[in-house]
Structure 1
Amino acid sequence: MKKITEIRAEDRPREKIGRLGVKNLKNQELIAAIIGRGIPGRDVNRIASDIEKMLDDKKGYICYDDLLCVGGVGEAKAAQIVASFELVRRYFPETEECIKISRPEDVLPLVNDLKYKKQEHFVCISVNGAGEMIEKRTITVGILNHSPVHPREVFSDAITDRAASVIFVHNHPSGNPEPSMQDIEITKRLNEAGEILGITVSDHVIVAKKGYVSLKGRGFF
């Protein structure tokens, strides 16, 4: 884990909020933005990581006293965090369910209809820093090796969304989800484009009547 001083100034949490918007930060970055700085021997990123783990373990239900048990968190930082949570609870009650995507299986219900399509559909799902779906879009319809997927079309809307990452999905009308060489080559090219743009390609999932394949899970990129 990089220390805050090892991260480019524009990519540090508070600067990143101003540049990209708060939704594009990961949970750890949001916590680091709240607490601001660490203490000697405990970098802010390490403290934020420990708090994130506590939030995950306790399903978000942490209190002032819980936070005081984290190394590097004193009364002031604990107060900042619980005050932030309480403001959110008061002003932004949960009104709609967000679709969280953390593994290939989470994608399948979103694209179940693709299994029955007679043409190949290439879909891009944009995701924010919290792992929540922003939008799902069909980029191309046709045979991939006859209609190459160009990075410009794939990433243009994701850039507008200020997405932190994207997940690609396409179907195989043949019913066999095994990736072709063209599938692998296209994925590698899109992954390289994503790295340049600062948008992570989290996965490329192929769906078919006989199942699905995660190219990330297979280690193709």
Structure 2
Amino acid sequence: MNDGQKPSGLKNTEGFSESPQPHYHGHRDRLRARFQSSGAQDLQDYELLELLLFRILPRRDTKPIAKALIDRFGSFAGVLSASPQMLQEVDGLGPNAVVDLKVIQAAAQRFSKSKLPERPTLGSWTELLEYCHTQMAYEDKEQFRILFLDKKNKLIADEVQQVGTVDHTPVYPREVIKRSLEHSATALILLHNHPSGDPTPSGADIQMTRAIDEIAKPLGITVHDHIIIAKDGHASMRGLKLF
């Protein structure tokens, strides 16, 4: 070819193939710019998820994947809290991408947990609820956990005691008290989640809480509250005057 024109698809004079950037690159740049100028508060859940997926899936158009995830799991938090098996059912996510999302969830939980001991728990009710919601709200099985506190209401330990089914967790009051004594705890906050989304305490919840409270009192251990966490709310059994 001697017509002076460069054939389409061949290398340019610098030795690199000429190929247009994928169409989503401009979208990524604009979304990053919005985040840099305004932060996350102006981004919808799927857009914040896109920002994460940019790095997890650098060669994919992540907008439809992010939207599919939000449609499936309802929210940003719901996506991060979904089980690996359910995440892999979404088209575009492979095992490696799912692991990356679960690492991000673990990092968020660790960050939330690290903030809690810095100040008295009962003096930071909003922060406590945010922490509980981050840890438990999107679990697909009931779990019962305890915050063990010292006399200044500082967190000694946060432990998951039992994991049950979608609507039941076996709890043994004497085991709860035994563990409290092992930690030298003087106060407890009991927590469990309702995967159904309804935080209303059941009759079994009330009975179990009263049993723990009755055993704890003579030993000088105060049960501050039993909080039930659901995706869209919570219930304080102390606030409801159920024990």
- After TM superposition, the score normalised by the length of structure 2 is 0.48
Provide the identity percentage.
34
Paired position in structure 2 for 1:215: 237
2:126 maps to a residue whose letter is E
**Distance change in 2, residues 1:210/1:97 (3 Å):** closer
1:98 to 118, 138, 163: 118
Q: C-alpha distance in 1, partners of 2:196/2:139?
A: 10
Q: Contact conserved, 1:145 with 1:182, CA < 8 A, in 2?
A: no
Asked which structure has the greater CA Rg, the reply is 2
Indicate if the aligned counterparts of 1:178 and 1:206 stay in contact, CA closer than 8 A.
yes
Greater RCO structure (CA 8 Å; 6+ sep): 1
Q: Do the aligned partners of 1:144 and 1:182 also contact (CA within 8 Å) in 2?
A: no
8 Å contact from structure 2 (residues 149, 185) kept in 1 = yes
Letter in 2 for 1:216: R
- Once residues 224 and 173 of structure 2 are traced to their aligned partners in structure 1, the CA distance between those partners, rounded to angstroms, is 15
Give the gaps of 5 or more residues in structure 2. Answer: 1-115
Q: Which residue of 2 aligns with 1:170?
A: 192
Could you list the runs of 4 or more consecutive aligned residues of structure 1 that deviate by over 6 angstroms after TM superposition? none
What is the rounded CA distance, in whole Å, between the counterparts of 2:211 and 2:167 in structure 1? Answer: 13
CA contact (8 A) 1:139 1:153 kept: no
Gaps of 5+ in 1: 1-95
Task: Output the amino acid matched with 1:114.
Answer: M
The answer on whether the counterparts of 2:144 and 2:193 sit within 8 Å (CA) in structure 1 is yes
SS in 2 for 1:163: coil
Distance 1:182 1:107, change over 3 A: same
- Partner deviation per Cα, 1:172-209 (whole Å, 9 max, x = no partner): 00011111111111111111111132211000000001
Q: Equivalents in 2 of 1:169, 1:135: separation in Å? A: 13
Call closer, same or farther: CA 1:155–1:144 in 2, change over 3 Å.
farther
RMSD: 2.2
TM superposition shift of 1:145:
7.8
The CA distance in 1 between the partners of 2:177 and 2:127, in whole Å, is 21
Call closer, same or farther: CA 1:178–1:219 in 2, change over 3 Å. same
Q: Does 1:184 align with 2:223?
A: no
The equivalent residue for 1:107 is 128
Q: Structure 1 residues 102 and 142, CA, compared in 2 at 3 Å: closer, same or farther?
A: same
C-alpha displacement of 1:146: 5.2
Please list the CA deviations of residues 129-185 of structure 1 after superposition, one character each: whole Å capped at 9, or x if unmatched.
111111100000004985531122212221121111000000000011111111111
Alignment of structure 1 residues 39-188 onto 2, 5 Å: 98-102=118-122, 104-111=125-132, 112-143=134-165, 147-188=169-210
